[in-house]
Structure 1
Amino acid sequence: MHFDLTGLSGVGALKDILLKVYLGKFQPNELQSIIQQQLDCFEQKIGQQPDFIDGHQHVHQFPQVRDTLLDCLVQRYDHKIPIRTKTYQTDLKAKIIYFLGGYKLRQKLIQQQWSHNPSFAGIYSFNTDLTGLKTLWEGWLKQASNNSVIMCHSARIDRNWTDEIYAARCIEYEWLLSDEFLALWDQYACRAQSWKNLGE
C-alpha cells in the first residue's frame, strides 16, 4: 500500500506536512483516521490486506506518522507488515529523504524486529529523458543487493490526468516496456518477487 498524505488525502502539500509533523501538530486521532481509511480502501479495492507498506513522497517515515502507522498496523492486523525504508543511493536528494525520517524509522524497525526491505533506489529529479533514465537504472542495478527495491512511478498517457510528475511517469512507462530495459534486467539477472518476500 502506498500511504498518502499529500495527494488524495487532501491534508496539504509536502512542505505543509513537514512543518506539521516536525512541530508535532498532528492529532493522533487525525492520523489514525487517515491511515484506517486508506487501509479500508485498499482492502475494498484489492480484496486482501497489504503485503508491504511505503509512503507517497516518503511520508510514512516522518515523525508522528511513523509511530502512528506502526501502531495502527499492529492493532489492525496483529502482525508486522513489511515496511519500505533505507536507500542505498548517495546523491543529495536521497540523503535528504533519509535524513527526514528514514534513519529513525529504520532504527525503530530494527529495535522492534519489524520486517523491512534491505535497501531501495529509484530517487531522481523527474526531469530526464529515456537515455537518462537508462543511465539511472543501470547505476541502480549495479549497486543493488539481494532483495533491493527499485521504485518507479510509471503511467500510460492520459491527457485528462494532471500530476506534477506526469511527463516523467509517461517516460518511465515507455522505458519499462522497452527492449533496452529487458536487456538490462537480464544482464543483471534480476527476478521479480512478491513484496511480502522482500523483508529482512
Structure 2
Amino acid sequence: MSSPRSVILCADDFGLADGVSRGILDLAGMGRLSATGAMTNMPGWRRAAPGLSPLRDRIAVGLHLNLTVGSPLGPMPQLAPSGIFPPLKDLLPRALKRQVPPGEIDAEIGRQIDAFEEVFGEAPAFVDGHQHVHVLPVVRPALIRILKARGHAGRVWLRDPTDRATAILRRPVGRGKALTVKALARGFARGAHAAGFATNRGFSGFAPLDLSVPAERVFEEAFSHLGRHPLVMCHPGYVDDELRALDPALESREAELAYLASDAFRDLLDAKGLRLAGFAA
C-alpha cells in the first residue's frame, strides 16, 4: 500500500480577529491544519500569538502580508493617508499601473516582518499575502528583495497562488477567482526561484466566502487535481464583533471550521490518500 501523499493546509488571517485566531488554534490543536499565516499589523496578532507557542512543532507559522485591512504599522502618507489601508478594489488598479509608492511598500513590508519576529521570536516559515497582495507589481519585487537582503533565501518559502489551468478548470468552485489570481501572479514562482526561494507547486481553496457553496463541496474540490507540492488555503474561524467590523466573510468561516473539525474531513483525507504536512523543499 502506498504512503499517504502530503499536502499543506494553510489557514489564512491569524490575528485578524480573536475569533479567527481561536478557531485556527482549535483546529491546529486537533491536527487539522499544517500552516497558518499571521496578519502582524492587526492588534489581534500580539494578543493571540502566545497561543501558537505549544504548536511550533506541529504547524508552520508564516507572515500573511497585509496591505488592505486595518492600519499600517508606520506612516504611509501616499498609500494610506487616513491611516487606514485602502481596500483591494482601490489598491489593485494602482498597483497594476505601478502607482503605489515603492518606498512606503518597502518600509511596511519590513515593519510587518519585524512585528512577526519580535513577537514570535524567529523568522516566518513562509510569506504569502492577504488577498494575494504579495504577487502584485511593486509589492512582489520588494518582498523578494527584502527577504533576500535579510538572509531568508533558502529558509523562508513563498506561496505561489497559481495552479495549472487544467486543474483550475476542473474545479468549478472559485474558478473565476483562481484564473484571475493566476493571471496576476504570472511569473511569481519563476522570480522567487531565481532569487533562491522555494514555493509550493499547486494551489487551491478558492471559494465564494459565503454560504452559497457548502464547506464540504469547497474542500472536496480543493483537495482534488492537486499539483506536485500542493497547498490548500482555508479561512476558518469563530465570528465575533471584531470580525464583523473588519471582514465580509462571516458565516463561511464557522462553516469551514465545523467541517475541518469533523469526521467527514478526516474521511475525505483518508479516501484521497492524503495527509496534512508542512513544507518539504
TM-score (norm 2): 0.65
Question: What's the CA shift for 1:135?
Answer: 1.7
Amino acid at match of 1:2: H
- Cα distance in 2, alignment partners of residues 189 and 49 from structure 1: 32
- Cα distance in 2, alignment partners of residues 69 and 187 from structure 1: 38
Matched with 1:178 is 262
Structure having the larger proportion of residues in strand: 2
The count of corresponding residues between Structure 1 and Structure 2 is: 195
- Cα distance in 2, alignment partners of residues 132 and 161 from structure 1: 21
Question: What's the CA shift for 1:160?
Answer: 4.1
Q: Which of 135, 138, 148 is equivalent to 1:64?
A: 138
- Cα distance in 1, alignment partners of residues 221 and 142 from structure 2: 35
Question: What's the CA shift for 1:40?
Answer: 1.0
Give the match's secondary structure for 2:85.
coil
Matched with 2:158 is 83
Please say which of residues 85-94 and 12-21 is displaced more in the overlay: 85-94
Question: What's the CA shift for 1:113?
Answer: 4.5
- Cα distance in 1, alignment partners of residues 150 and 133 from structure 2: 20
Matched with 2:55 is none
- C-alpha contact (below 8 Å) 2:69/2:86 kept by paired residues: yes
Structure 1 residue 109 corresponds to structure 2 residue 185: no
Give the match's secondary structure for 1:147.
coil
- Cα distance in 2, alignment partners of residues 6 and 87 from structure 1: 24
Amino acid at match of 1:87: D
Q: Which runs of 4+ in 1 moved over 4 A?
A: none
Question: What's the CA shift for 1:140?
Answer: 2.2
Percentage of identical aligned residues: 27
- Cα distance in 1, alignment partners of residues 64 and 275 from structure 2: 22
Matched with 2:97 is 23
Q: Do the aligned partners of residues 33 and 112 (structure 1) sit closer, same or farther apart at CA in structure 2, a change above 3 Å counting?
A: closer
Q: Structure 2: where are the runs of 5+ without partners?
A: 1-62, 73-83, 170-174
Matched with 1:7 is 69
The answer to which structure, 1 or 2, has the higher relative contact order (CA under 8 A, 6+ apart) is: 2
- Cα distance in 1, alignment partners of residues 229 and 190 from structure 2: 19
Matched with 1:192 is 276
Q: Which of 97, 106, 109 is equivalent to 1:32?
A: 106
Matched with 1:151 is 233
Structure having the larger proportion of residues in helix: 1
Q: Structure 1: where are the runs of 5+ without partners?
A: none
Question: What's the CA shift for 1:149?
Answer: 0.5
Q: Which of 150, 164, 167 is equivalent to 2:251?
A: 167
Question: What's the CA shift for 1:110?
Answer: 3.9
